Structure 1
Amino acid sequence: MLDIGVPFVILVANSPFLILGVVVDDMFIMISAWQKTSLVDNTKQRLSSVYSKVAVSITITTITNVLALYTGIMTSFRSLQYFCIYTGTTLLFSYFDNITCFGAFMALDGNREGVCLCWLKKPETPDQKCSSLKRSCCLPCDSLPDEQETDIHPMNLFFRDCFGPFLTSTESRVFVVLIYILYIISSICGCFQVQEGLDLRNLASDDSYITPCFNVEEDIFWIMVPGLWLLLLKLLTTGIKMLGKKLELRLADLENSDYVDKNPTEVWLREYVQYMEKSKQDVNDKDTFMNGLPNFLTRFPLFVSDTNISSSHEIISSQGFVQTMGVSSSADEKKVLSQLRSRAEKCEIPLMVYNQAFVYFDQYTPVLENTV
């Protein structure tokens, strides 16, 4: 898969457990059908009988599993796409391995059983007192030959003679119906208790330092988290005063949100325009604007890292800070993400809101549509 450009993500490391469960299930089905064949038949007849009984069922289940996983490629989560590609492809190859390689091993074991059966049928001399030992060595220790010389597994006997009659009794049927009704009721109640969200502490190991950090943040600073960075892209240095007014309108719109605190907002462009106006400088003049910027940053070093100036004295991008508040649940996180992003998109200046936790908050929006 790496050769065709499908990257390996850590989520794929969990796929062997899923693949092993599906593959072993098919192997058990084939072994069960093999044990029901007659020992007196040759290996070719026994293997043909096994494939005639189980090949269709394991083929259909494999196809449905592979198609279900390949359908997951349409999800918007990239890591889940790679997981579905790796797991679906591996299941497909495992299916071919089961019907070829594993069938060959069963044929070899059938040859062994045929030789052992011939050995058991040899007449014993009076000196031979180990027929039970020969029997236990040749036949599986947990199988019993019946009159037709076929193996009946003890578990088959249990379900046939014990569990089947027990389950079909009147008391058992009433009990099963009651359990099913309780299951349906609890499922319906559970649907109303489902809460959307993701606790970031669950993404770290139990002994990680992140866990106590989030605990302190939740207990003490939950009112003022998370803070948002406003990224101004491709800021033009002509008509700064007009752009500043447009930015002010958008900042006012952001600050009117229930999740934004107006006081801690820090935007260097707002402060710089006010600084130039107090100094009676022409804000709209590009040379004056760029020449006065180093002096402004010297007097206000807080904004030094908020601007990205190219070698040609052009402002490539810049950033500001807006403080959110009252984000105490996953529902609030989802609302603040969608609300502030929609307001930022209305700004005529290319504006983007960002926080490090948005990579997790982004998962809340597509979860429902991908699940349904």
Structure 2
Amino acid sequence: MFYTEKLLAVGVDNVFILLSAWRATNVADSLMHRMEETFSDAAVSITVTSLTDLISFAVGCLTPFPSVQMFCAYAVAAVIFTYVYQLTFFAGIMVLTCRREVEGRHCLTFQKMKKHVRPSLKMIEKGKSKKTCKSGFVFTLWKPLQSIRLTNYRLAHESDIMQGQYYATGNLAKTYQYEDRGFEKNHALARFFRTTYSDALLNPVVHLIIITAFLSYLGLAAWGCANVKLGLEPNDLLPENSYGKRTLAVAEKYFSDYGSYLHVWMYNLSKVDLGHRRLWVVLEKEIELYEHTEFTSSSDSWLRTFLNFVQQAGLLITPENFVYILKNVFLSQPRYAKFNRDIVFDDTGNALEASRIPVQLRFVGACNQSRAMHLFRRLAETSELNTGVYADFFQFAEQYNAVLPGTLSSIAIAGVAVVCVSLLLIPEPIASLWVTLSIVSINVGILGFMTFWSVRLDFISMVTIVMSIGFCVDFASHLAYNFAKGSNIPASERMRNALYAVGTPILQSASSTILGVSFMASAESYIFRSFLKTIILVITLGALHGLVILPVLLTLFYCDSKNNNDE
């Protein structure tokens, strides 16, 4: 369920792109022509974003964290499904909806509504208005309301259409032609992006402000990246007001110097050739190495207790009787029976096979867990005995070691793949370059501002960052593609057209995504709150790049020397 909640907004921007392209078509055109225009305008754009999403999540499957792998595999399936769904089922829904509108049916009950609607001239030509046909002539009861402009033939030969008169259909076609009302019919917000908003972005003073703010943002984000905190703390896995979290907080406050134990075990001891040295002497020296580090203190050593017992009992141990005294004398004492779990004999019972010694840890916190783990492992690797070490914090220290390289490699691989896809499908290479730089900028911003919002880089935020590659590519690719497909027009006009086409869908997608995860604001778990904060950063930075930064950069640094033709 957690994965489903995260993927609620995947592909939603493509739906808004399709709806925006549909609204931009001429309502007087046939259904087939409107669908052709819609998908010729939007299909390539949503293919670019779906393919880049797919690559981003597929790269995430290569990370070393199973939780991230499962999420990314789930996301790959979701991206494929939503893409096929949008081009098939959703397209069919659009067709049925248009037919419902043409037939004047209610959007919920699908019953025909009784509404006095005067037909357009296009409807008269197609024979769909209330009329009387007589020898190729049309008798109309109403004057057309469709916005029209006069042709030269109309000015020279015809007067205005009058109610209740006959008109030859051939003359009607010569007399009137239609204006494309797509701009007036489209969303008011889309018109705002094309006019008022674009005018503001084209202002040189606004250019200077945006570029200055962008450079400041990069500097601040870079500083945050240098100070990002790594890893997931044990108490982060507990609800905010739970008993366990309160207990851990008290323990951290009053007893933070000493924590759990480092478990040191030596194995295959029966097969070790020590020459003339005695096994218990070698074992004791090994344990002393672990007791004299900056992260440990004394140990609860069965061997040291055994040697003290032998000395107090006045016994003499030799290589021949060492195991016998240990097994039949020492461990048979009730007060020493607890050491039975730390000692393993071979199948014959005549040789020591494995030994475990718990060593007390101290001063091990989140900031030095990785360093402590590497120190203990180096001691184990340099031992002449087969030695292994483990402590409870190792699972978190392993995360610290893997999360940053894993995140950076995922960003790098996905970035290269996205560049290749963009170069293939976006007409202008310079636009593909800015898409790539936007991806880098957004991910730097996410990592940097996580520091200011007290979010650590762990496997939870790593999932979101991998997902952010897809989200930020969506916003940037939609705008870059619509900017690049212009023909023989200046960069400023391309920017207007691009914002008109995708400005509203980007804003709608960003809003719907944030609304989709807003329920997590009331969650007490750090995991949910961490995801919410990271996704807000992803969507906010992605929308700002798609609607503010990228349009300005494309306008300022676009070269008009090469013009492309519309497909």
* Same fold, judged at TM 0.5 (above): yes
Q: Residue 324 of structure 1: SS of its match in structure 2?
A: strand
Residues 1:362 and 2:398 are matched in the alignment = yes
Contact 2:270 2:346 in 1 (8 A): no
Residues 1:148 and 2:185 are matched in the alignment = no
How many equivalent pairs are there?
337
Contact 1:250 1:343 in 2 (8 A): no
Residues 1:179 and 2:216 are matched in the alignment = no
Correspondence for 2:328 among 279, 291, 312:
291
Where does residue 334 of structure 1 map in the other structure? 370
Residue 312 of structure 1: how far off its partner (Å)? 5.9
1:1-372 equivalent positions in 2, closer than 5 A: 13-116=1-104, 120-121=118-119, 147-150=179-182, 151-236=185-270, 242-261=278-297, 264-276=298-310, 278-285=314-321, 286-296=323-333, 298-308=334-344, 313=349, 317-328=354-365, 330-372=366-408
Contact 1:306 1:318 in 2 (8 A): yes
Q: Residue 282 of structure 1: SS of its match in structure 2?
A: coil
Q: Which has the higher contact order (CA 8 A, sep 6+)?
A: 2
Contact 1:244 1:269 in 2 (8 A): yes
Cα distance change, pair 190–207 in 1 and its aligned pair in 2 (3 A):
same
Q: Residue 262 of structure 2: SS of its match in structure 1?
A: strand
User: What is the identity, as a one-letter code, of the residue corresponding to 2:279?
Assistant: L
Contact 2:331 2:339 in 1 (8 A): no
Contact 2:263 2:390 in 1 (8 A): yes
Partners in 2 of 1:315 and 1:281 — Cα distance? 14
Q: String of CA shifts for 1:100-123, please: whole Å, max 9, x gaps.
A: 111110111121222239955257
Q: String of CA shifts for 1:316-360, please: whole Å, max 9, x gaps.
A: 6542211122224x2311111111122123333332222223222
Residue 172 of structure 1: how far off its partner (Å)? 2.1
Moved more, 49-58 or 193-202: 193-202
Partners in 2 of 1:368 and 1:237 — Cα distance? 40
Which runs of 5 or more structure 1 residues have no equivalent in the other structure? 1-12, 125-130, 132-145
Partners in 2 of 1:60 and 1:18 — Cα distance? 21
Residue 199 of structure 1: how far off its partner (Å)? 3.0
Q: Residue 34 of structure 1: SS of its match in structure 2?
A: helix
Q: String of CA shifts for 1:108-148, please: whole Å, max 9, x gaps.
A: 11212222399552579xxxxxx9xxxxxxxxxxxxxx943
Partners in 1 of 2:361 and 2:81 — Cα distance? 51
User: What is the identity, as a one-letter code, of the residue corresponding to 1:291?
Assistant: N
User: What is the identity, as a one-letter code, of the residue corresponding to 1:53?
Assistant: D
Q: String of CA shifts for 1:32-65, please: whole Å, max 9, x gaps.
A: 1111112222222222222211111111211111
Contact 1:226 1:324 in 2 (8 A): yes
TM-score under structure 2 length normalisation = 0.54
Residue 214 of structure 1: how far off its partner (Å)? 1.9
Partners in 2 of 1:120 and 1:290 — Cα distance? 104
Contact 2:58 2:72 in 1 (8 A): yes
Cα distance change, pair 238–49 in 1 and its aligned pair in 2 (3 A):
closer
TM-score under structure 1 length normalisation = 0.80
Contact 1:72 1:84 in 2 (8 A): yes
User: What is the identity, as a one-letter code, of the residue corresponding to 1:190?
Assistant: G
Residue 185 of structure 1: how far off its partner (Å)? 2.5
Where does residue 140 of structure 1 map in the other structure? none
Partners in 2 of 1:267 and 1:84 — Cα distance? 46
Q: Residue 384 of structure 2: SS of its match in structure 1?
A: coil
User: What is the identity, as a one-letter code, of the residue corresponding to 1:172?
Assistant: V
Partners in 1 of 2:281 and 2:345 — Cα distance? 22
Partners in 2 of 1:61 and 1:116 — Cα distance? 35
Partners in 2 of 1:44 and 1:293 — Cα distance? 92
Residue 235 of structure 1: how far off its partner (Å)? 4.4
Contact 1:250 1:344 in 2 (8 A): no
Partners in 1 of 2:81 and 2:279 — Cα distance? 60
CA RMSD between the two structures: 3.1
Residue 195 of structure 1: how far off its partner (Å)? 3.0
Partners in 1 of 2:49 and 2:353 — Cα distance? 55
Residue 92 of structure 1: how far off its partner (Å)? 1.2
